[in-house]
Every structure is written in C-alpha cells, then in structure tokens.
C-alpha cells in the first residue's frame, strides 16, 4: 500500500479521485492517518460466538463519524489504479535486489521508480511522469 505522504503528493500533483467501491483512504488531519478505510456499499463484519464464527451484514455502522467531506479523505490507490494512471507510459514492473522497480517511457526516454512496495513504486512513477509533464508544459 502506498504511504500517506505519497498519496498526499499524488493529490497535490493533480491526481483526482472519483470514489468507488473498494477504494482505500485515510481521513486527513484528524489523527487518523494510520486508520485505513475501504469504501464499501455494504458493511460486513466477522463475529465470534460460542456457536461459531459468522459474517454479519449491516446497512449502517454504529460509529461517531457519520460522514466526512471527500476533500478530507486521502485516496490510497491500488496497484491497478496506479498502472491505469500511467497509461501507455508503463513498460514493466521488475524485482531488483530487495526493491520493486516500475519502468516507464515517455518523450524524454526511459525512467525507473523503485520502492519496497509495488504500489509505492507505481505511485512514485506517476509522480515522476506528472512532474515531467508539468516541466514540459
């Protein structure tokens, strides 16, 4: 999963989020950066009882936070979403030593973005591509 600082950098670079089921996010500036939420159309909870384990389907969650403005949420895009943001610039994801490297290609040539996590490497590649586009524009 990408780090919150990298996710914030993506947002600052102009990456927009159209919230959809399955998306992960944190709530910014409320001391909740370590609490990852998943957007879901239905809340399902695992319950343990003396008779066994079961899954409970709930229409609402009993919690003090009823809603937040989407601008307060920081999107943590998944690998596929980040690869989609790279589009045709994406060349490959490679394992090198102890890091994962995303290779991209654009008018300036080939670029590599490395991180310990595939999603972080993809996010760094998106940030690099956006920075190069901004410089060229």
Q: What is the pLDDT of residue 95?
A: 97
Q: 64 versus 133: which is more confidently predicted? A: 133
Q: 29 versus 22: which is more confidently predicted? A: 22
Say what the pTM is.
Answer: 0.84
Diameter of the chain measured on Cα atoms = 64
Structure-token pair, residue 122:
């993809």
CA distances from 74 to 1, 8, 43, 103, 137 (A): 13, 7, 20, 26, 27
Examine the pLDDT at 103 and tell me if it is beyond 90.
Answer: yes
Relative orientation angle of helices 4-12 and 118-136, to the nearest 10 degrees: 20
Average of per-residue pLDDT values in the chain = 88
Examine the pLDDT at 42 and tell me if it is beyond 80.
Answer: no
**Residues 50-67: tens digit of each pLDDT:** 888 877 766 555 555 556
- What are the backbone dihedrals phi and psi of residue 9, each rounded to the nearest 5 degrees, phi first? -65, -40
């Amino acid at each position: 999963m990408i780090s919150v600082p990298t996710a914030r950098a993506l947002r600052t670079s102009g990456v927009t989020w159209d919230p959809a089921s399955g998306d992960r996010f944190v709530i910014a500036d409320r001391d909740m950066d370590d609490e990852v939420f998943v957007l879901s159309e239905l809340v399902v909870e695992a319950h343990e009882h003396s008779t066994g384990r079961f899954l409970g389907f709930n229409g609402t969650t009993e919690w003090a936070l009823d809603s937040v403005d989407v601008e307060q949420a920081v999107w943590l895009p998944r690998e596929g979403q980040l690869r989609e943001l790279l589009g045709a610039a994406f060349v490959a994801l490679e394992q090198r030593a102890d890091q994962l490297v995303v290779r991209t290609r654009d008018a300036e040539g080939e670029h590599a973005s490395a991180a310990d996590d595939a999603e972080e490497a993809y996010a760094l590649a998106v940030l690099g591509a956006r920075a190069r586009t901004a410089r060229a524009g």
